[in-house]
Structures are given as structure tokens and as C-alpha cells.
Amino acid sequence: MIKAIAVDMDGTFLDSKKNYDQDRFESIFQKLKAQDIKFIAASGNQYAKLKSIFGQRDMLFVAENGAVIYEGNTLYDYCAFDRKQYQSVIDYLNIERGIDNLIVCGLNSAYILKDTAEMFKEVAHFYYHQLEEIDSFQQLPEDEYVKIALNIDRRTHPTLDQDLNDYFSENVKLVSSGHDSIDLIIPGMTKGNALQRLLTKWDMTGDNLMAFGDANNDLDMLQLAKHSYVMKNSDDKSLFDIANHIAPSNDEQGVLTVIEENVLTAIRKE
């Protein structure tokens, strides 16, 4: 029996214009809530961004690729990097590799450099609703740091993925959220790990979980869920071998269609 539903955001729940059918979702959400079926937004996005998408709904938010979990407005759990190890990775990227377009993600806020390009700032502000501009990555504000986000051009940094693995494999793990977007996360602190902690709390197993995803950072979430769906629009071919089902594309509102046809229909038949 499905008792919890976890959905990725970009490329999965949201369409190509970063929208979703709000009226249709509200109807579905209320029916799920009436059956005590948990709805979980599981994303690489910041919690504040997820809240801006869903508003004040009483639901779960797995943010920053699993490092942060909120129940509604309440912080439930989080895991932060060792500060010295985190700073060493930042210094390597910023000083040794000359990468300024970093988003340094803390529990309280995300941070970018003041002197980065306006286009980069616009993108950062779109995805991070709690965002501060700072003078230097070598003097980070007091915070609990949970992730590093960056876009890389692999033509100019062809070995960066491997170099980070070689130098920092014990401290960070690389996951892709699509195209050239990379998140550096705490090893083992993934969406799947966060969902497992929630399932344990609720006395559930992966047999009770339905999950939707489209990118590499959704892999272990799909492995955990018995009712796993890769989106038809996914560019990650490995997910089609991992997931048990294929959902219609994000531009077809595939998540909502699957929930209606496979969860709400079963409820009506009971």
C-alpha cells in the first residue's frame, strides 16, 4: 500500500516553464491528505524555494539533496559539513581552479560573491530565495553548510569531476541535477537517505513509497521506492534501468497523472 509519495522538482514535478497545474494539484493533495498519505518534495533546491512553490501546505520538504528536512515550517533534521573540510573544497574550487560562480549553501542562507556576473546572480536568486552576496568565499558567514552548487563548462574544466573525486572523495560526493549542474553533497546524505529516515520514523518501508525523478541525484530515491517512476523526458538513461515504471513527461504533468490513475483510483475502489 502506498503511504508516501516523493517527487523531484525540476524536470519532474515542474514543467519546462517551472510551473504546475496548481488547481489540479490542490485537489489531489487534499485527497491524499484525507487518506493520511504523505506528500514529500524531494529536491536539490533550497527549502525557501520549495516553500515558494507549495506555499503553506502541511507537507514534507527534503531540501538540498537530502541534507535538510522540514515538516511544514518546522526544521525536522539536517546534516552539515565539517567546516574545515568544507572550506578546503571551497578554496580549491575558488582559488586553485578560479571558479567564482559558486553557490555556497548554508542552513540559514545561500551565498554568492558580490562581483559575479549579473546573469549568474539572476539565476542564483531564482533558485535560492534566501541568498546573500558576500565579498569573499574565504570569509564565510557563521552558518551550518550543507551543499555547494555550481555549473561547469566541461570544455574549460574537462577534468574537474575526476579531480574532485581524487582530492576530496572522503569529504564530498558529486551528483548531477541535470546538464552541467553539479551539487557537491555530504557523502551518504542523499534524497534516498533522507527518505529512509522518514520511512523509519513512520514505521514504513520502501514498499510503501512512490517516487518520481529524472536525474542522477534521484537515483537512490528511485532505488528505495517499490513504486518508482522515471520521467519520460529524462536524459539519464541509467534511470530507466533503475525505475520500475516510466511516467509521462513533466510537460504532460506526468506526476499528477500517475497519482490520479494509480493512487486515487485505488482509493476510490476500496
Q: What average pLDDT is seen over the chain? A: 94
At residue 228, the 3 state secondary structure works out as strand
How would you list the strands of the sheet with 131-134, edge to edge? 131-134, 110-113, 102-106, 145-151, 181-185, 173-178
Q: Is 214 a catalytic residue?
A: no
Instruction: Name the band, by pLDDT with cuts 50, 70 and 90, for residue 157.
Output: confident
Active-site entry in 8, 10, 15, 220: 8
Angle between helix 160-168 and helix 83-91 axes, rounded to 10 deg: 150
Q: What is the CATH number of the domain that holds 20?
A: 3.40.50.1000
Whether 123 and 64 map to the same domain: the answer is: no
- The residue type of 77 is D
Q: What is the CATH number of the domain that holds 158?
A: 3.30.1240.10
Domain ends where: 166, 185, 204?
185
- For the record, the C-alpha cell of 269 comes out as 475502489
Whether 38 and 64 map to the same domain: the answer is: yes
Whether 91 and 175 map to the same domain: the answer is: yes
Whether residue 112 contacts residue 124, with contact meaning beta carbons closer than 8 Å, is answered with yes
pLDDT for position 151? 83
For residue 139, give its domain range.
Answer: 83-185
Whether 48 and 103 map to the same domain: the answer is: no
Whether 19 and 92 map to the same domain: the answer is: no
Number of domains in the chain: 2
Whether 178 and 193 map to the same domain: the answer is: no
Whether 164 and 258 map to the same domain: the answer is: no
Report the C-alpha gap between 79 and 224 in whole angstroms.
20
Instruction: Name the band, by pLDDT with cuts 50, 70 and 90, for residue 155.
Output: confident
Percent of the chain beyond pLDDT 90? 87
**pLDDT tens-digit readout, 212-245:** 999 999 999 999 999 999 999 999 999 999 999 9
**pLDDT tens-digit readout, 63-122:** 999 999 999 999 999 999 999 999 999 999 999 999 999 999 999 999 999 999 999 999
